[in-house]
């Protein structure tokens, strides 16, 4: 029959309680017995000796002191009430008879002698009783010592054995369980606990073994699954055309795919686990990849026997809010780069080829307006005017496309030289004069006659200023005005064009210089959205800056700067 742990503890505590109870009861019993024996000696025999002694003293003074009779009589009465021993009653009665006779014939010396002998007999009887009772008390004490010593020895041995063995009932299974739990914590799932106990500890050991078996099976199934997933991920990564580098939280190299190996000129097995900055000391590309630069830059790397282009992306791997690693991806954008170059070359070719026939169309339409060719009615003149406007628009678009092709290929052809701002300002004003008059827009122009020379390309700077003034006229209200101003600092000349039209919402300002971007809500149908982007590129190519400030509903201010000559 299985004994539960609670029952074992209860039995152990009950045993200790019984040991304490038995020893205590026996001790109390013998102590009480010794006390009773001592009381008998003191209360009975000792008092009789006191009475006898008092009677002897009174007897010695009875002939000279009349109060001695009272003392004798009193102690004799007390003695008669304290008879406890065999023969004591007869001796006391003899004492009483002799005393009564003496009272009748006082002065009889023989009676005094018999009274004295009777008192001595009572005293002797009680003295013998004291000795006998003392012997009894001694025997009781000796028996108590023997019994309690034997009992104490037995109980001590039993209790000592219990104290030595009973804790093992608790500590042994607890220790086994603690060792098992530590093994599981160290992922030793083959650990088992063997307890031949049919109590709660036995149940706990069985539950532990079941848990360990399931963890062991789960671990082995997970390892197989993880190994399979690792192989599959490695295969996928190695099949990718992008270079991939994995780093841990300490920037040690975890893996490289085949593309990254070829780009870096390194083998994964040779550098895996190494500190990436140490590798960067001897590898230029690794050094570039480890630079924490938020600005996305295009990298030109010789790969696949040709110059290739890559974008670097860095992804942080996190566990909750803790970063546990990084993945650097080199995206191969060479095909897109080649397509972009083909597109740029196509646009440049088509724009260049279109420019000549469009110019011819414009010239022919202009010749038709000459009265020497012939007279036209109003409808015909309107058609010719539309042809001229469309030709101008096409020339502007093809010009912008040609300029953009220069910007995209990085082949902006500049003729930088000291130039007087007077030249490109007058060119721009002359060009937009007719457009401003048509809309009734007036120009407020600061004095520009005495401005110092700047280092610039006159043609492209004129183009930029014309584009800014044209936009200002376009977005100014009828009968409005535009402010063209300038300022000089230590190293630069700044020229600004400010209109007082609808302005630009703040959310669109960061995109205003993007290619093909048009502010929503302007209903602009003419133009490519390239003018401001090209203007920015032209100004920056001349070591200047183009910037904008605007408040919606109050107008916009475009400012460009050029270095002083």
Judge whether 95 lies within some domain. yes
Rounded to the nearest angstrom, the gap between the alpha carbon of residue 14 and the centroid of all alpha carbons in its chain is: 51
Confidence category of residue 254, pLDDT binned at 50, 70, 90: confident
Which DSSP symbol is given to 44? Answer: I
Mean pLDDT of 505-527: 75
Q: Which of 308, 332, 356 is the last residue of a domain?
A: 332
Rounded to the nearest angstrom, the gap between the alpha carbon of residue 556 and the centroid of all alpha carbons in its chain is: 49
CATH number of residue 147's parent domain: 1.20.120
Residue 521 has pLDDT above 70, yes or no: no
Mean pLDDT of 37-52: 71
pLDDT of res. 469: 92
pLDDT of res. 418: 92
Same domain, residue pair 134 and 260: no
Mean pLDDT of 336-343: 64
Confidence category of residue 166, pLDDT binned at 50, 70, 90: low
Same domain, residue pair 509 and 548: yes
More confident residue, 375 or 480: 480
Q: Which of 288, 309, 332 is the last residue of a domain?
A: 332
Mean pLDDT of 313-341: 77
Mean pLDDT of 317-331: 81
Residue 525 has pLDDT above 60, yes or no: no
Strand ranges in 232-321 using DSSP code E only, listed in sequence order: 243-248, 253-256, 298-303, 306-319
Cβ 78 vs Cβ 105: under 8 Å: no
Q: State what percent of residues in the chain have pLDDT above 90.
A: 9
CATH number of residue 283's parent domain: 3.30.450.20
pLDDT of res. 400: 59
Confidence category of residue 101, pLDDT binned at 50, 70, 90: confident
Give the range of the structural domain holding residue 357, as residue numbers without chain letter: 338-406
Same domain, residue pair 391 and 287: no
Same domain, residue pair 431 and 510: yes
Mean pLDDT of 340-355: 59
Same domain, residue pair 156 and 43: yes
pLDDT of res. 419: 92
Long-range pairs of 260-268 with CB within 8 A, sequence gap ≥ 24: 260/330, 262/303, 263/301, 263/303, 263/310, 263/330
Which of 456, 470, 457 is CA-nearest to residue 396? 470
pLDDT of res. 38: 61
Judge whether 233 lies within some domain. no
Mean pLDDT of 165-193: 74
Same domain, residue pair 108 and 25: yes
Q: State what percent of residues in the chain have pLDDT above 70.
A: 76
Mean pLDDT of 426-442: 89
Least reliable range by pLDDT among 22-26, 85-89, 498-502: 22-26
pLDDT of res. 454: 93
Mean per-residue pLDDT over the chain, rounded: 78
Confidence category of residue 50, pLDDT binned at 50, 70, 90: confident
Judge whether 235 lies within some domain. no
Same domain, residue pair 465 and 542: yes
Mean pLDDT of 403-432: 78
Segment of 56-65, 290-299, 356-365, 402-411 carrying the highest mean pLDDT: 56-65
Confidence category of residue 496, pLDDT binned at 50, 70, 90: very high
Judge whether 207 lies within some domain. no
Mean pLDDT of 65-94: 83
CA angle 442, 445, 447 (to 5 degrees): 155
Mean pLDDT of 313-340: 78
Residue 294 has pLDDT above 60, yes or no: no
Q: Which of 378, 406, 434 is the last residue of a domain?
A: 406
3-state secondary structure of 384: helix
pLDDT of res. 85: 82
Same domain, residue pair 312 and 435: no
- Scan for tokens 């490109």, then name that residue: 424
pLDDT of res. 546: 92
pLDDT of res. 465: 92
Which of 127, 119, 143 is CA-nearest to residue 26? 143
Per-residue pLDDT of 417-429, as tens digits, reads 999 999 999 988 9
More confident residue, 277 or 10: 277
Beta 243-248 vs 306-319: how paired, if at all? Answer: unpaired
Residue 162 has pLDDT above 90, yes or no: no
Q: Which helix (H) or strand (E) holds 144?
A: helix 109-185
Judge whether 131 lies within some domain. yes
Same domain, residue pair 123 and 256: no
Mean pLDDT of 465-490: 90
Confidence category of residue 498, pLDDT binned at 50, 70, 90: very high
> Can you read off the two tokens belonging to residue 449?
């006659």
List beta partners, residue 335. none
Judge whether 201 lies within some domain. no
> Can you read off the two tokens belonging to residue 218?
């789960």
Confidence category of residue 61, pLDDT binned at 50, 70, 90: confident
CATH number of residue 465's parent domain: 3.30.565.10
Judge whether 342 lies within some domain. yes
Least reliable range by pLDDT among 11-15, 240-244, 536-540: 11-15
Cβ 327 vs Cβ 255: under 8 Å: no
Residue 299 has pLDDT above 60, yes or no: yes
More confident residue, 413 or 90: 90
Judge whether 211 lies within some domain. no
Distance CA 517, CA 504 (A): 13
Same domain, residue pair 302 and 348: no
pTM score over 0.85: no
Phi and psi at 107, nearest 5°, equal 95, 0
pLDDT of res. 403: 61
Residue 255 has pLDDT above 70, yes or no: yes
Same domain, residue pair 38 and 55: yes
More confident residue, 480 or 231: 480
More confident residue, 297 or 325: 325
Confidence category of residue 372, pLDDT binned at 50, 70, 90: low
More confident residue, 564 or 272: 564
- Report how many domains make up the chain: 4
Same domain, residue pair 325 and 373: no
């Amino acid at each position: 029959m299985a004994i539960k742990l609670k029952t074992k503890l209860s039995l152990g505590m009950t045993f200790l309680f019984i040991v304490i109870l038995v020893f205590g009861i026996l001790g109390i019993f013998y102590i009480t017995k010794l006390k009773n024996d001592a009381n008998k000696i003191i209360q009975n025999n000792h008092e009789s000796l006191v009475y006898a002694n008092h009677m002897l003293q009174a007897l010695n003074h009875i002939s000279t002191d009349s109060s001695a009779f009272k003392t004798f009589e009193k102690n004799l009465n007390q003695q008669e009430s304290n008879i406890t021993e065999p023969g004591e009653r007869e001796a006391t009665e003899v004492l009483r008879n002799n005393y009564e006779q003496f009272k009748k014939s006082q002065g009889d010396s023989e009676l005094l002698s018999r009274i004295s002998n009777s008192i001595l007999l009572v005293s002797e009887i009680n003295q013998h009783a004291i000795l006998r009772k003392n012997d009894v008390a001694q025997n009781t004490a000796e028996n108590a010592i023997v019994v309690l010593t034997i009992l104490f020895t037995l109980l001590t041995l039993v209790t000592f054995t219990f104290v030595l063995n009973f804790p093992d009932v608790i500590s042994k299974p607890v220790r086994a369980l603690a060792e098992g739990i530590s093994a599981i914590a160290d992922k030793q799932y083959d650990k088992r606990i063997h307890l031949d106990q049919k109590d709660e500890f036995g149940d706990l050991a069985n539950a532990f073994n079941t848990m360990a078996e399931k963890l062991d099976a789960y671990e082995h199934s997970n390892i197989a699954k993880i190994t399979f997933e690792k192989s599959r991920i490695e295969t996928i990564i190695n099949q990718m055309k992008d270079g991939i580098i994995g780093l841990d939280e300490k920037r040690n190299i975890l893996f490289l795919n085949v593309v990254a190996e070829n780009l870096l000129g390194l083998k994964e097995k040779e550098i895996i686990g190494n500190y990436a900055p140490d590798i960067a000391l001897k590898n230029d590309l690794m050094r570039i990849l480890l630079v924490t630069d938020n600005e996305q830059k295009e990298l030109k790397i010789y790969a696949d026997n040709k110059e290739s282009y890559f974008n670097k992306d860095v992804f942080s791997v996190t566990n909750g809010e803790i970063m546990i690693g990084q993945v650097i991806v080199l995206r191969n954008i060479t095909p897109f780069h080649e397509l972009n170059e083909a597109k740029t070359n196509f646009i440049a070719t088509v724009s260049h080829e279109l420019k000549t026939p469009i110019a011819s169309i414009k010239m022919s339409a202009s010749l038709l307006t000459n009265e020497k060719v012939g007279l036209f009615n109003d409808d015909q003149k309107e058609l010719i005017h539309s042809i001229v406007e469309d030709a101008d628009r096409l020339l502007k678009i093809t010009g912008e496309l040609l300029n953009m092709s220069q910007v995209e290929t990085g082949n902006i052809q500049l003729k930088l030289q000291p130039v007087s701002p007077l030249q490109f300002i007058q060119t721009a004003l002359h060009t937009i004069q007719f457009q401003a008059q048509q809309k009734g827009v007036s120009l407020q122009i600061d004095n520009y006659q005495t401005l110092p020379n700047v280092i610039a390309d006159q043609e492209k700077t004129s183009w930029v200023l014309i584009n800014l003034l044209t936009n200002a006229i376009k977005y100014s209200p009828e009968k409005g005005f535009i402010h063209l101003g300038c300022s000089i600092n230590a190293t630069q000349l700044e020229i600004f064009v400010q209109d007082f039209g609808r302005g630009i919402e703040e959310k669109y300002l960061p995109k205003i210089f993007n290619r093909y971007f048009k502010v929503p809500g302007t209903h602009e149908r003419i133009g490519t959205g390239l003018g401001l982007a090209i203007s920015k590129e032209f100004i920056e190519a001349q070591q200047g800056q183009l910037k904008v400030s605007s408040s919606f509903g109050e107008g916009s201010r475009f400012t460009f700067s050029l270095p002083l000559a």
